[in-house]
Chain A
Amino acid sequence: MKVLVTGASGMLGGYVARALRDAGHEVSAFQRRPAGIDGVADITGSLTEEADVRRAVAGQDAVVHLAAKVSISGPEEEYRKINIEGTRHIVEAMKAQGGGKLVNISSPSVAHFGQSIVGLGTTAPEPERASSPYARTKAAAELVAMAADGEDGMLVTSIRPHVVWGPGDTQLVERIGGRAKQGRMPLLDEGNALIDTIYVTNAADAIVAALNRIDEVHGESFVVTNGEPRTVRDIIGGFAAAVGAERPTLRIPSSVARIAGRIIERLWEIRPGYDEPPMTEFFAEQLSTAHWFDQRRTRERLQWTPKVSIDEGFEILRRYYSTRSR
Chain B
Amino acid sequence: MHELSIAMSMIEMAAEEAVRRGGVRVHAIHLKLGELSGVVREALLFSYEVACGGTPLEGSRLVIEEVPVMVYCPSCRAEAAIISVQQFCCAVCHAPASQIVQGQELEVTALEIE
Is B one of A's binding partners? no
